[in-house]
Amino acid sequence: MLALKQYRDKALGLPDLLNIAFLMDGWQTEAGEMAVAMQKDGSFLAGFRYDGPDLESQSTRDLEGLSAIWNNAVSRLGTDWGIHVTAIREPADDYIDMSECAFGDPVSRLIETERRTQFGMETGHYVSRYGITIAWRTPIDAEMQLVSAMVKKKTSKNTERSGEDAFRDILARYRQMIEVIMGIFRSGYRVKAMDADGLLTHVHECLTGSPYRINAPRIPAYLDALLGHHDFVGGLEPSIDGEDIRVVTALGYPGQTFPEMLEHLHSMPFPLRYTLRFLPLDQADAVADMGKIRDRWFGSRQSVKSLLAEKVGGEAPGQLTADDTVVNLALDAKQAVNEAREGAVKFGNFSLSVVLRSSNEKVLAERVKAIKEFFDNAGYIAHLETTNTVEAFLGSIPGHLYENIRRPLMHSLNFADFAPKTEIWAGEARCPSPLMKMPDGRKAPPLLYAATTGNTPFRLNLHVGDLGHTLIAGMTGGGKSTLLALLAAQWQRYHGARVIGFDKGMSLYTLTEGMRGQHYDLNGPTSDLFFAPLQHVDDPAEAAFAADWVEALATLQGVAITSTERTAIRDAVHGLARESGRSLTALVQMIQNRELKDALQYYTLTGQTGDLLDAETDGLSLSNASNMTFEMSHLMNGSPTMHLVTVPVLLYLFHRIEQMLDGRPTMIILDEAWTFLDNPLFMAKLRQWLKELRKKNALVVFATQSLADLKNSPLLPVLKESCPTKIFLPNQAAASQDLRPLYIDMGMNDRQIELLAMSTPKQDYYLFTPEGQRRIQFGMGPVALAFCGVSDPREVKRVMELKVQEGDRWPIAWLKECLPPSIRDGWVRHAETLF
């Protein structure tokens, strides 16, 4: 006979150790689809992920408010509930792969090479993710109803109620509580419910350390086998799939807690997972447990010898010295009993475990040492688990409420202080706009990587959803122009990218010429660019624009437009469509209205603007333009009447830009935007124009050197509404009585305003979006600054000279002149390979 016993080993495998069993019907919440798992012990399990605000940007009051959110949520739970809060510190994505980038010109590619090199020279990059799972062990009578779920029972004389109905009631109670807790968290966090795939992936990642997505099976059962199919070796030093596991547990805690007790763990330069497990207790259970602790400490306040002396020797109580430490502990336990009875906080059993993994024993030992040093220096008593390793590890897995004997009592406010409530925001790994796509249909990469903080990189996207309009505000000398140039250079990453800049002060000249773009100095002494806004009035759409544009010219000259003037303008435009020379002079000759004639004469050859707006053939070609800058300083000459020229020119240029938009990623930069947009003619069109640009995959970057200038401008409400992304530059006066209200009106809090006042100009920038806030540094190296940081008139003049002397290879000569000697030769040699 064949001996079968050897094939029927009853030893437990990893699936036998897992609690999760099968998935049940989920439901839709405000935070997305929520899945529920049934576990082997009869408990339900569900969870959600959350993103916290930036720690540096939070005031003490803000942090206390976040702790109150946690306390409010946890206080609603009692015995038979369990919470696992998991923080996963994992390697960040590598720098953007070059195959995903375009960079069609040598200079933008050179800048990208430098930034890529800087990123690679930094030590490991890591990001943190947070998840909460909540389990409920159903009451005993409920478990009995679950067993007989399909058996109908009499509930009254006239009504029959099945076990299935009871099950649905219990599940409804669970769902309702999950909804309530998520609602509380949404008041301070961005929350996303875990669907079936998300819940399984989270449990699997906590088990194995692998972040790969787990798809829910068609028949959602035997989940323990699905998640636990790995090779698991137990013992004092367990391992999964050849990776050793170490668990560091906190046995003792500091005497006092404060928000973000474990924040330093998010600066560790290696991957880790730490889990907080909190098992709340009903008030009666908490009072009973702490009453025992109180009695035990109270009974230990004096030695046996002292007690005998009191009883036999007649000494009065208190005359002999008691152990002060024990007395204090007894009083502390007594106070805890009173707090539990009051119900302001919830007491429960708490566990804190840090899970580390590596296939390299030496590396793992170094990581354990670093964690223990952190705990020891912070006043904890840390212990590397040995005989309790497997139990501690299993107790850290979501849904496991029994394993791990280390579970001291703690109240919910202390638990809230340990919980990860804030984060170092890393930004989106991909551009969130559905319009920004790679040629193969994938989402586009982020615009750029900012400098790393605490091993956490930052990925900048100007878009929030499909809206990318951005406001940049900062004092003169704060680095605004340099930042605008860097954004323009990095925008070349996207396939088909196009940048159109409206500059003031020639700060975009060097970069524009370096990227082989077109630079126009409007109305400058050497400018030969003239516009013909009426050239194509034979087209009905162009005729409609031309009539509105001419009407705007007359309005600027103070003409009150009535139906009579409006008709005269439209008749003249239609008449001009039949002529060959379609200039503004020709149009004026067709108008008989003397007031209109005199007003429009200002813009003709014989008027103040010369032939700038009175050409018959337009000198501006936008058909193949990828990089174009319009220098506005000569047009905006500071005279009281400059708006009479700037408004017509910009209305026409914006019209031309709108015509050229075809879905290609387009960035439009408006430096010192308020000075030429603060006009009723623009205000009437700006909101609609911004909406149209959004639809055509274009964004506008508005830049100003002073929020105070916008304070009473009708432009400010438009910018606040249309620009979800705001970048503020350092300003020592940000907290002053004059400026503080402006920053608060922009949505900033006192701590963020304080950061602006403390930050270093040309180094620090504060990014403010609905998705998150963070003080960042762009870390521009000498190569980037050689093209993005040039605004001094002498340097601009030198670039112009080199352009004449060297032709297309002028950037190489420029690098030779401005780079430090220590790095010059290497970058020059690299640049020569690109030209």
- Window from 139-143, 295-299, 625-629 with minimum mean pLDDT: 295-299
Instruction: Average the pLDDT over 787-810 and give the result.
Output: 95
**Do 120 and 67 lie in a common domain?**
yes
Instruction: Average the pLDDT over 466-477 and give the result.
Output: 91
Residue 668's nearest CA partner among 746, 723, 599, 711 is: 723
Percent of the chain with pLDDT over 90: 67
pLDDT surpassing 90 at residue 536:
yes
Q: What confidence tens digit (pLDDT) does each residue in 124-139 have?
A: 889 999 999 999 998 7
pTM: 0.86
Last residue in a domain, options 387, 418, 449:
418
Which residues pair with residue 90 across a beta bridge?
127
pLDDT surpassing 60 at residue 145:
no
Cα–Cα distance measured from residue 489 to residue 514, given in angstroms and rounded to the nearest whole number = 10
Instruction: Average the pLDDT over 96-104 and give the result.
Output: 93
Instruction: Average the pLDDT over 442-467 and give the result.
Output: 90
CA atoms within 13 A on the CB side of 659: 15
In a domain, 463, yes or no: no
Can you give the pLDDT at residue 86? 98
In a domain, 716, yes or no: yes
Can you give the pLDDT at residue 151? 47
In a domain, 425, yes or no: no
Percent of the chain with pLDDT over 70: 88
Of the chain, the end-to-end C-alpha distance in Å amounts to 82
CB-CB contact of 574 with 543 (8 Å): yes
- Report the 3 state secondary structure along 500-541: EEEECCCCCHHHHHHCCCEEEECCCCCCCCCCCCCCCCCCHH
Can you give the pLDDT at residue 249? 95
pLDDT surpassing 70 at residue 341:
no
pLDDT surpassing 80 at residue 327:
no
Per-chain mean pLDDT for the chain: 88
**Do 261 and 181 lie in a common domain?**
yes
Residue 812's nearest CA partner among 514, 517, 519 is: 514
Can you give the pLDDT at residue 407? 78
Query: For the chain, how many structural domains are there in total?
Result: 5
Cα–Cα distance measured from residue 177 to residue 50, given in angstroms and rounded to the nearest whole number = 17
| Segments of 92-156 assigned E as strands | 126-137, 152-154
pLDDT surpassing 90 at residue 718:
no
Cα–Cα distance measured from residue 238 to residue 256, given in angstroms and rounded to the nearest whole number = 34
**Do 239 and 350 lie in a common domain?**
yes
DSSP line for 37-58: EEETTSEEEEEEEEEPPBGGG-
Distances in whole angstroms, Cα of residue 768 to Cα of each of 297, 743, 757 = 52, 11, 15
- Window from 436-440, 572-576, 712-716 with minimum mean pLDDT: 712-716
In a domain, 785, yes or no: no
Cα–Cα distance measured from residue 795 to residue 800, given in angstroms and rounded to the nearest whole number = 9
User: DSSP class of residue 442?
Assistant: P
Choose the most confident range, by mean pLDDT, from 306-315, 678-687, 786-795: 786-795
**Do 231 and 357 lie in a common domain?**
yes
| Segments of 649-690 assigned E as strands | 666-671
Last residue in a domain, options 779, 804, 824:
779
In a domain, 519, yes or no: yes
Can you give the pLDDT at residue 678? 72
**Do 796 and 666 lie in a common domain?**
no
Instruction: Average the pLDDT over 731-753 and give the result.
Output: 91
DSSP line for 758-771: HSPTTT-EEEEETT
**Do 273 and 288 lie in a common domain?**
no
Q: What confidence tens digit (pLDDT) does each residue in 311-321 have?
A: 555 555 544 44
Can you give the pLDDT at residue 287? 66
> Which residues span the domain enclosing 833?
792-835
Q: What confidence tens digit (pLDDT) does each residue in 22-78 have?
A: 999 999 999 999 999 999 999 999 999 999 999 889 988 899 999 999 999 999 999
Cα–Cα distance measured from residue 244 to residue 312, given in angstroms and rounded to the nearest whole number = 60
Can you give the pLDDT at residue 301? 54
In a domain, 600, yes or no: yes
Instruction: Average the pLDDT over 711-724 and give the result.
Output: 85
CB-CB contact of 716 with 460 (8 Å): no
Instruction: Average the pLDDT over 665-684 and give the result.
Output: 81
Measured at the CA of 764, the angle between CA 761 and CA 767, to 5 degrees, comes to 125
Q: What are the helix and strand counts (H, E) for the chain?
A: 29, 26
pLDDT surpassing 80 at residue 121:
yes
**Do 103 and 171 lie in a common domain?**
yes
**Do 534 and 523 lie in a common domain?**
no
Residue 713: band (very low, low, confident or very high) from pLDDT cuts 50, 70, 90: confident
Can you give the pLDDT at residue 160? 52
In a domain, 5, yes or no: no
pLDDT surpassing 80 at residue 150:
no
Distance of CA 600 to the CA centre of its chain: 50
**Do 295 and 266 lie in a common domain?**
no
Can you give the pLDDT at residue 325? 53
Instruction: Average the pLDDT over 563-571 and give the result.
Output: 93
In a domain, 433, yes or no: no
Give the pairing type, strands 498-503 and 518-521: unpaired
**Do 770 and 624 lie in a common domain?**
yes
Residue 2: band (very low, low, confident or very high) from pLDDT cuts 50, 70, 90: low
User: DSSP class of residue 266?
Assistant: G
Distances in whole angstroms, Cα of residue 665 to Cα of each of 109, 444, 696, 732 = 18, 11, 8, 36
**Do 574 and 598 lie in a common domain?**
yes
Both tokens of 267, joined, read 């600066």
**Do 576 and 502 lie in a common domain?**
no
Instruction: Average the pLDDT over 658-662 and give the result.
Output: 92
pLDDT surpassing 60 at residue 701:
yes
Can you give the pLDDT at residue 320? 42
Cα–Cα distance measured from residue 366 to residue 372, given in angstroms and rounded to the nearest whole number = 10
Last residue in a domain, options 402, 418, 434:
418
